[in-house]
Amino acid sequence: MADKMTFQVNSTSEGMRTDIEAGQHKIAIDEPENMGGKDSATDPLSTLLGSLAGCENVIANLVAKDIHFDLQGISFDIKGELDPRGLMGDPDVRPYFQKVSIEANVQTSETEERIQELQEKTDQRCPVYTTLEAAGVELHANWRKA
């Protein structure tokens, strides 16, 4: 069995803003003014969707190498939908995404069938995608040739 990977962040907060250190990197998270923040950084849920895009990209590159896929680049347009009543305290509404839609444009010389193979293997191995899936988030992914 391979060694486990450990991830750690440290943070400080002031009001709605959180400043995060992950190793030598810094991330800032805030809320827009209508949610009580100062809109000085990306909100947490958009950050989560950004993490999904980043993770899918990393895993797609790993999978492409494994299956000898000509991956020249990939871009994502990801949208998440949630009912805000959950995060505002309604116990009958879950406070996280109900649905996430992923549109991926794949720069490649490969066929549509091979693009679907890349997507399936990527989605199976992506920790962020599978975490959302395990939480029961409705996931719709459409990968196509750019």
Instruction: Give the start-to-end residue ranges of the domains of the chain.
Output: 1-42, 44-145
Cβ atoms of 80 and 97 closer than 8 Å: yes
The pairing of strands 138-145 and 99-108 is: parallel
Selection from 71, 80, 48 nearest residue 121 by Cα: 71
pLDDT digits 0-9 by tens, 32-79: 999 999 999 999 999 999 999 999 999 999 999 999 999 999 999 999
pTM for this prediction? 0.95
Looking at domain 44-145, which of 3.40.800.10, 3.40.50.300, 3.30.300.20, 3.40.50.1220 is its CATH number? Answer: 3.30.300.20
Instruction: Say how many C-beta atoms besides its own lie within 10 A of residue 133's C-beta.
Output: 15
DSSP string for residues in 94-135: -SS-SEEEEEEEEEESS-HHHHHHHHHHHHHH-HHHHHHHHT
